Each structure stands twice: as C-alpha cells, then as structure tokens.
Amino acid sequence: MTGISDTFTQSKKHVARRPIKWSVVGDHAVLVAGVLLMVLPVFMVFATSSHDRIEIARTGLQFGFSDQLGVNYGKAMFEKGGFTDTVDGSLMLMNSMILGFGFAIGKIIISMMAAYAIVYFRLRFATLAFWIIFTTLLLPLEVRILPSYEAIQSLGMANTYSGLIIPLIASATGTFFFRQFFRSVPEELVEAARIDGAGPVKFFIDILVPLSRTMIAAIFIIMFVFGWNQYLWPTMITTEESMFTLVRGIKQITQGVVDSNDIPEYGQALALSIIAIIPPVLIVLFFQNWFVKGLTESDK
Amino acid sequence: MKRAGFTTVWLPVALLLPQLSIIAIFFYWPAGWAVQSSFYLQDPFGFGSTFVGLDNYTDLGRNTEYLRIAWFTVIYTCLVTFFSLAIALLLAVKADKVIRGARTYRTLLMWVYAVAPPVAGFMGIMFFDQRTGPITDLFQTVGSDFKLGVNYTDTATAMVIAAVWKQIPVNFIFFLSGLQSIPKSVNEAAIIDNRSATGRFWQVTFPLLAPTTFFLLIINITYALFDTFGIIDTLLKGEPGNNPMTLVYKVFLDGFRGNDLGGSSAQSVILMVLVLILTVFQFRLIERRIHYT
C-alpha cells in the first residue's frame, strides 16, 4: 500500500514540476516591490511608534519593535496637550468620528433627496436646479477657501461641528452619483408603483432606498474617508483645540516635533499618526468590494 | 428625468431645498465674493476697500514670485501625474496578469488610499529627516546631500515622492478595473496575432485603456493642484520661506498670513478658471467616451 501511495505522490510531484515561467516570477517580483513600496513606510512608522523618543531622535525610523508601544499610545490617546492642555488623542478621535460620520451621512441624505427630485419629478426648473448644483463640481473648496471662511465667520459658525461639516457637503459629487444610479433604475418600477397606488414618498422610502443599498454603502465609504481626511478646512475653521480632528492635529504634532527645544515626542506623534490612519483604512479594507465599486462607478 | 415621473410640485421643491440652500450659502455667496473682492484693494488695517479694476490680476502677472510658483506648479503637476500613473499602470497590468494572490496584491496595493495627505506629509518628514531619514541615507549613498526644507530641489523632490506615493492606489484601482473590463476574447485574439507580450500591451491593451487613462489624467491633475495641500503644508512645516509651493498654497498664504485679500481673491479666481477649463474638458470626454466593446 505504501508503495502505491509513494508512487502516486511521486507521479504527482512529477506532474507539478513544470518549468518555471520566468515571466510569472517577474510579474510577482514587480508586485512584491509595489506592495513593499506601499506597505513598508506605514509599517516602519508603526514599528517606530513602539520606540523611546530618545532612540527615535538618535536613529530615526526603525524596522523592528520595541517595548514602548503601550506607553506611546497611552500618551497619544490620553495625555492632554496643546497650548491650553485641553486636547488629547481620544477627543480628537471623537471629533474625527463626528466629522467622518456626520459628513458621510449628511451628504448621502441631502444628495439622495436632491437626486430623487431631479430624476423622478416633472419639474419646470429641474434642469436649472441641475445646473445650479453641478456648477459646484467646478470649484473645489481649496479654491474658494478664503471667502468660505469669511462666510462661516459672519454666520458665527466657526468652531462648531455644523460649521465644520455643512460647507463640505456643498458639492455635487454625491448628487451626481445618485442621479446616475437612479437613471439606471428601470422605468417600469415607478410605473408599477404608481399603478399600485404608491405615492412619491412611499416609492422613495419603500422601493428606491432599499434598491440603492449597495450604492449607499459604496458612497458612504468614500465619503467617510474623504471627510475623515479633510485637512485644510478643519485647519481654518477650528481654532479651538477642543475641536481638533486627528488629521488637523497632525499639524500641531509636526509643529511640536520641529519647534521643541527638548527632544521631541516622536513616539507619541507617530502613535497619533497611526491612530489617524486606522479607522479609514479598516473601513476600506473591510468593505473593499463596495469601495472599489463606488469609486470606479462614480465616474460614469 | 423619468418619463413616468411624479407630478407633485411641493415635494421636489422641499427635497431640493436643503442642497440648494447649502450651495447658495457656502458656494455661490463665497464664490461671488471672491470674484468681487478680486477687483478691490483691501486696506491692510481693515478700513474699507477701493475699486482697482484688474490691477490685482496685472500685479500677479508682473509678480516674479507668483510666476515662479505657477511654473513650479506646472512641473510638479506633470511629475506627480506622470509617475503616479506610470507606476500604477505597471502594477495594475501585473496584478491583472497573475493568477495566484491577485486579490491579496489588490488589497495590499490599494489601502494607502485611506491615509490622510498630512499624515503622508509627516511620514515624509520622518523619511527625509536630515540626520536619520532612511531616504536621506539612500541619497547619501549615491553621493547627494539631501536637505529637506533648505534646498529647493530637494524639498520639491520630497513633495513629489510623497504626493506620488499617496496617489498610486487610486490610479491602480481604476486601471485594474479598466483592465478587467477588457473582454477575454480580445486578449485571445491578440495572442494569435502578436506573440510579443510588450507589443500586445502597447497595440491592444493600452489603446483599450485610453478612456480610463484620460479620465485619470484629469483626476490626477486636480489631485496635484488641490488635494496635495496637506502634504505640502506638513512637509514645509508651516515655514514656506524660499521653498517650492503650489498655487493653492500661495492662495492660502497670501489670504491668511499675508492679509492680501484682493491678491488672494484674484489668485482664487485664476484657479477657478483653471478648474473650469479642466472640468469642461472632462465632461466633453465623458460624453464622447470611446467604447470599443
């Protein structure tokens, strides 16, 4: 019996031993190099965030781990810092969460409503409304940053969550996305719904919203990451440290690293960067397929 | 609009109202204000302003510093766009080709999308650190003394590298999805006609990817112009000095640090026109999007 199984595995081995295709090896080599290019920098930052600040100041980024991981992350999360000693990592994390979720949810609700109105109603000024909304695609916030800031100031909305979130919603990306999707929904659906006596509100809530679930998920991921990673706008609109988001806080950290006369808190700064990276990265990784779908289909 | 749309009048108005009012307050009002104040000269102490016509614009045209920044922005945009597209295309082609581990590669190559630009900038500071940065060491081994924040070209190099790194994932995702939508039969037919893989790529695959590439070209130009603000601001550590910067960063500097409202607004308007041209181009492209399949 053993002989038979031996010859069997041997023959299997023999079949499996094909000549190595060097082009395939080359493909993998290129991909591995690419993966290293993308992953290694973040990994090194993570590994270094477990080191003592003196060691980091002396030798820079590390490949291996050390024993200061808990200390650095504890400091980053709970040690109050800044000029007023009011802000710590956990507060910034909460602010980032509020910005990320508030922006994504607000944007989805507002743009779905607008897209529904534009696509499903016979409205005399629908085309006008469409163009009014779509002109906003032309001007990213970065271009009109100063006047937007003045507007927020005069409305007394500086250093508030609504001041942080609402102006970011004022662009048409979401509306454009849902408009394209609604237009691809079969016409018969709305006809059938009307024959069955469903009004516009019922049709929207009971049919269209459930139908758009995947689209909503996809756009939620993109918008969450977009909101979380906002930098310029929070930098301008939040001057109180208790309103800082993590990404906004990075500037403060680097300033600390540059300016301090003492040995800078490298470990803590790197730990905070990792904390700022983790939530959006996890969302992108877990909902990869929706994310890719949302990203690549939004351009059509 | 759907053929069988609803005819209620009040409901769509109510549905459109939130979006329209947000846009009016946070978009049209500020944009109009920018255009208006670009024609005025603001008193530096805040006592009123005087109408100066196109002076703010002509001043910019004569300002050698502004022209230098504009020129740098052009070069920077070209470099970032070219390298991030080229590297992403190479990786996407390979990821599309391999059978084993394709999904793992895809995951590992795309997650950097979620890293915030200022975090990328901070990582740049660590990697290009004058004494301890690994990339600085790398430059030293080839005999170049890399000085971030001191040497103009070195700072520019660091900016380009950080910006390219951050943009590779988006391009990779789009290229890969573009490659995957090419029908298998096309590839099979190409294999019969042309045995050289490189030849097949440039004669068959690359032309089929043209719509994706054009689309990404616009996306990348917009990214380099606007979204790299976080990277630049962190890399420069808030000390622009004689360092390279992009036009958007200049708008921010003049408006907030320099208090030159008129000049900053004029710069904003110039950028608006630039984006307008890009977007019109993009829309025409989408309309005429070439479909081979």
A149 plus A72 within the same structural domain: no
Q: Which of the pair, B239 or A40, is modelled with greater confidence?
A: A40
DSSP reduced 3-state for A121: strand
- A150 belongs to a structural domain: yes
CB A292 within 8 A of CB A112: no
Q: Which of A39, A56, A78 is a domain's end point?
A: A78
Q: Do A280 and B27 touch (CB under 8 A)?
A: no
Query: In angstroms, what is the C-alpha Rg of chain A?
Result: 26
| Distance in angstroms (rounded) separating the CA atoms of residues B211 and B42 | 46
Query: In sequence order, which ranges of chain A are alpha helices (DSSP H)?
Result: 2-16, 22-48, 53-59, 69-78, 89-120, 126-134, 145-154, 161-169, 173-184, 187-195, 200-202, 209-211, 213-228, 232-237, 246-259, 266-286, 288-297
Least Cα distance to A247 among A232, A258, A267 occurs for A232
Label residue A6 exposed, middle or buried (CB < 10 Å: 0-12, 13-18, 19+): exposed
Which segments of A125-212 does DSSP mark as H helices, in order? 126-134, 145-154, 161-169, 173-184, 187-195, 200-202, 209-211
Instruction: Measure the CA–CA gap between A225 and A285, rounded to whole angstroms.
Output: 12
Statement to judge: residues A260 and A117 lie in one domain: yes
Distance of CA B142 to the CA centre of its chain: 31
> From the list A60, A199, A253, which residue is nearest B132 (CB)?
A60
How far is the CA of B63 from the CAs of A7, A297, B17, B215, B263, in angstroms?
Answer: 83, 43, 43, 34, 11
Residues A210 and A288 in one domain: yes
Query: Across chain B, which distance is largest between two alpha carbons, in Å?
Result: 76
List the single best residue of B2, B125, B220, B277 to mutate versus A (max A Cβ within 10 A).
Answer: B2
Exposed/middle/buried for residue B64 (C-beta within 10 Å: 0-12, 13-18, 19+): exposed
Q: What is the ipTM of this complex?
A: 0.86
- Which has the closest alpha carbon to A207: A193, A186, A187? A193
Q: How deeply is A257 buried, as exposed, middle or buried, from its count of CB atoms within 10 A (0-12, 13-18, 19+)?
A: buried
> Is A84 among the domain residues?
no
Write the residue in B95, B197, B272 that is nearest to A139 by C-beta: B272
Would the pLDDT of A7 be above 60? no
Asked whether residue A83 is assigned to any structural domain, the reply reads: no
Domain count, chain A: 2
Give the domain extent around A274. 89-297
How far away is chain B from the Cα of A230, in angstroms, using its nearest Cα? 8
* d(C-alpha A87, C-alpha A82), whole Å: 6
Q: Are residues A286 and A164 in the same domain?
A: yes
Q: CA–CA separation, A129 vs B21, rounded Å?
A: 11
- Which three-class secondary structure state does DSSP give residue B291? coil
Long-range contacts of B139-147 (CB under 8 A, 24+ apart): none
Residue A130 and residue A268 in one domain: yes
Contacts A121 to B, Cβ<8 Å: 1, 5-8, 11-12
Q: Are A88 and A77 in contact (CB under 8 A)?
A: yes
A174 and A213 together in one domain = yes
CATH of the domain at A257: 1.10.3720.10
A35: chain B residues, CB-CB within 8 Å: 105, 108-109
Q: Each residue of A58-107: pLDDT tens digit?
A: 777 888 788 777 888 887 777 776 656 667 788 889 999 999 999 999 99
Helical H runs in chain B?
10-23, 29-37, 55-62, 64-97, 102-110, 117-127, 134-141, 152-180, 184-193, 197-200, 206-208, 210-222, 229-235, 247-252, 261-287
- Where along chain B do its domains lie? 62-287
- Cβ separation of A31 and B123 shorter than 8 Å? no
Q: Which chain B residues contact residue A143 at CB under 8 A?
A: 226, 248, 251, 268, 271-272, 275
Instruction: Report CA-CA distances (Å) from A162 to A148, A158, A167, A234, A243.
Output: 14, 9, 8, 12, 12
**Does A231 sit within 8 Å of B116, measured CB to CB?**
yes
A4 and A11 Cβ atoms separated by less than 8 Å: no
A194 domain residue, yes or no: yes
Whether A51 and A161 map to the same domain: the answer is no
Give the gap in angstroms from C-alpha A217 to the nearest C-alpha of chain B: 16
Q: Which of A78, A101, A126 is the endpoint of a domain?
A: A78
Residue A101 sits in the same domain as residue A190: yes
pLDDT tens for chain B, 293 residues: list them. 565 577 777 888 888 888 888 888 888 888 888 888 888 877 666 666 777 777 888 888 888 888 889 999 999 999 999 999 999 999 999 998 888 888 899 999 989 999 999 999 988 888 888 777 888 888 888 877 777 777 888 889 899 999 999 999 999 999 999 998 888 888 888 888 877 888 888 888 888 888 888 888 888 998 898 888 889 988 887 677 778 888 888 888 887 777 777 788 888 888 888 888 887 777 776 666 555 43
Count of C-beta atoms within a 10 Å radius of residue A50: 20
Q: Which of A29, A49, A78 is the last residue of a domain?
A: A78
Are residues A53 and A168 both part of a single domain?
no
The CA distance from A189 to A165, in Å, is 35
Cβ within 8 Å of B, A 132-161: 132-133, 136-140, 142-148, 150-152, 155
Shared domain for A198 and A292, answered yes or no, is: yes
Same domain, A106 and A153: yes
- Of A96, A97, A115, residue with least CA distance to A215: A115
Give the CATH architecture of domain B62-287.
Orthogonal Bundle (1.10)
User: A130 and A56 in one domain?
Assistant: no
